Amino acid sequence: MELNQNFKGRDFISLHDYSQKELLYFLDVADFLKKQKKAGGNIEYLKGKTLGMIFQKSSTRTRVSFETGIYYLGGIGLFLSSSDLQIGRGEPVADTARVLARYLNGIMIRTFSHKEVLDLAKYADIPVINGLTDLLHPCQALADMQTAREYKGSLKGLKMAFIGDGNNVTHSLMYAGAKFGMEVSIACPAGYEPNAEITANAVADAKVNGGAISIVRDPNEAAEDADIIYTDVWASMGQEAEAQKRRQAFVNYKVDDALLAKAAKDVMTMHCLPAHRGEEITDSVMEGPHSAVFDEAENRLYTQMAIMALLI
């Protein structure tokens, strides 16, 4: 497959930055890479290229999928924790960005502050990939869309219900659903709604692409006739001090078999992992016939390979 060169040098910070056509192309490339890898075909689009991987937040899926992904593409990944970089000792992001850009072909960063990613992209003249911030998780949402398309055939017109906190995963799923013309219904308790600016952007994107965004209180309302039911942990990394308070606030927002009964008969259930089984999702749902959780985790590898192959 000859890749479209128009993506070279771009950053991947938010799905909102890309058109529906561009995002569909990412998915097509991810599907191709998945098929080629499983067949043992040559996919070394990044032979001799280097990716710096900055981790301010610990990770399982993000680190392993990016590190193996760049390797499968013929390149090399360098794991850089905050303790490995002078940024952890107060060096400005602007300085770090300009130095790393002279050594590397691309940077992936997983961190707390979204501004840190924006600053890195501003000062580095190589592609910057948002591996996760407290605001957005675009790589996860793109993998979710690849998985949903595999299961459902197409994305436009699907109803996706997200049950839980209006967090970074929710934000990127809203953008993804809006871009692909899906109906996205977020069920969350008062005080835990998605970011207002992101909601407004997603609503605008949805209008352009024939989708819809809604925020409701009742999980049963969101789940009604849903093609996809999605959830995430109630307390994200960095919110551990709020864990008990959040358990009380979200006690009625568990994805269980009773909630699935409200959805379409062929509903697929998704979770970005790690899961707190028995809290936001039950074992019976995680391990049940509707679960796409581990296919979803696998597809992080292929969508991120597509991002790297196209941008770097």
Q: Are 127 and 311 in contact (CB under 8 A)?
A: yes
CA distance 293 to 312: 29
The pLDDT, as a whole number, for residue 90 is 77
Q: Are residues 47 and 132 part of one domain?
A: yes
Query: Is 167 found in the same domain as 302?
Result: no
What single string gives the DSSP state of each residue in 200-233? HHHHHHHHHHT-EEEEES-HHHHHTT-SEEEE--
Same domain membership, residue 255 and residue 144: yes
Kindly state whether residues 279 and 158 are assigned to the same domain: yes
**Cα-flanking dihedrals φ and ψ of residue 88, to 5°?**
-75, -10
Check residue 84 and give its pLDDT. Answer: 77
> Tell me, what DSSP letter sits at residue 11?
-
Same domain for 154 and 287, yes or no, is: yes
Residue 290 shares a structural domain with residue 303: no
Same domain, 31 and 65: yes
* 256 three-state secondary structure: coil
pLDDT number for residue 241: 78
- Number of folded domains that form the chain: 2
- CATH no. for residue 210? 3.40.50.1370
- Separation between Cα atoms, residue 164 and residue 282, nearest integer Å: 14
Instruction: Give the helix/strand (H/E) hosting 236.
Output: none
pLDDT at 89: 65
Range of the domain at 268: 140-296
291 and 303 belong to one structural domain: no
Q: What's the residue count for the chain?
A: 312
Per-residue tens of pLDDT for the chain, all 312 residues: 999 999 999 999 999 999 999 999 999 999 999 999 999 999 999 999 999 999 998 899 999 999 999 999 999 999 998 777 777 567 889 999 999 999 999 999 999 999 999 999 999 999 999 999 999 999 999 999 999 999 999 999 999 999 999 999 999 999 999 999 999 999 999 999 999 999 999 999 999 999 999 999 999 999 999 999 999 999 876 777 788 899 999 999 999 999 999 999 999 999 999 999 999 999 999 999 999 999 999 999 999 999 999 999
Residues labelled catalytic: 110, 137, 140, 232, 272, 300
- Please check whether residues 131 and 150 belong to one and the same domain: no
Q: How many CA atoms lie within 13 A of 4 on its CB side?
A: 13
Q: Same domain for 72 and 151? A: no
Q: Are both 249 and 165 inside the same structural domain?
A: yes
Same domain, 126 and 166: no
Cβ–Cβ < 8 Å for 176, 272: no
pTM, entire model: 0.96
